[in-house]
A and B are shown apart, each in its own frame.
Chain A
Amino acid sequence: MKISNNFTTSIHLMLRNLIDAKSTRDQIKFTSAQLANALCMPRSMITKLTHPDESKRVVNPRIDTLLKIVEFFKSDGFNITINDLLGITTKSIDVQNQKILIQDFTRKILLHSFNFKSTKKLGTIDMKVPSNSKNILALYADKDIKPFFKKGSIFIIDKDQHLEDGMLVAIVSHDSLETQIKKYHIEGNKRILKSLDHHVKEIVLMPHLKIEMIGAIIQVNAKT
């Protein structure tokens, strides 16, 4: 892990993004003054943290101030950690050291729409996939899957794949017939579904939630 050279720039941007994201999500304007009230802090404190002018921005905020901000947004459903606020980046993956997988076997796979309950199939695709499972299906994204995948991307799902922590899964919530792409996490006894978009609230799997797990996503044919 690496801390960005100037983490005060990261705090300033991240905090502004969070305030904006809360306004967008709740469809009610959320201001830095309201944040200051919620945190029992002087308004000037938040202003100093988010000020666009670097010379007027606070240089070295106290750790308890940052923790209070993180706790507030976490309890409000945002998937945020102090690392995100400080601009600590995730591990980077080296590209040139990757070993190319030799997949000689092309398979014919049924392609469905993201509206999984629809019985209509879109057709078939021929694709090389890293699995011998007979329970493979493909889903066609008819809209962008934020923040990484564009409309037209195809998600390959292995219904037989054992789910492990950190895998990408396709689910259908009974509230909406749309397939959703989530990241599956195991934390103790809890099974958590996190969105790829960090601003979307995570779901802790409970029996009453009526979420159907379609399977693990093993490959994505990304539209560029």
Chain B
Amino acid sequence: MKSMLKKIDKMFCNYLGLESEVVLPTSVKIKNNQLTISNTESFKRHSYTQHWNEFSSTNFKQLSQTNKEKLGIAIGKTIAKNLIITFEEITIKMEKTDA
């Protein structure tokens, strides 16, 4: 019975487009030496806070590129003036040395 209800629930969720749970960062602040992110989850009315280290290892990877960029700008503003934070993968090109 329980598994059948679960299947029906899943079907409804798929039909309504509620299958993906997206965590969106809403605000950033520094408290007691730690960067804190306030998040909202889709279809939930409450928000909750996470420390940056926890957020970066769990929810960060699921963010869209746009949200990553917005988050980087907000974190930069929180830490210092005229600072931007980016999260791109950077390739370091080694310098060629003469033989």
Residues of chain A having any CB pair with chain B under 8 Å: 10, 13-14, 17, 84, 87, 89-96, 98-101, 111, 121-127, 130, 140, 147-148, 154, 161, 164-168, 183, 196-199, 216-222, 224
Contact = CB atoms under 8 A, between A and B. Distances in A.
Given A94-B27, A219-B84, A125 B33 contact: no
A96 B94 contact: no
Nearest to A2: B29
Interface string B26-62: 1111111111001000000000000010001100110
What is the size category of the interface that chain B forms with chain A?
Answer: 35 or more
Contacts of A130: 84
A221 B92 contact: no
Given A84-B32, A101-B73, A217 B80 contact: yes
B85 A220 contact: yes
A124 B95 contact: yes
11 contacts: A87-B31, A90-B30, A92-B28, A95-B27, A98-B77, A124-B92, A125-B92, A127-B90, A168-B81, A220-B86, A222-B86
A125 B57 CA distance: 25
Contacts of A96: 24, 26, 70
Interface in B65-99: 66-67, 69-88, 90-95
Given A84-B32, A92-B28, A222-B86, A148 B52 contact: yes
B93 A124 contact: yes
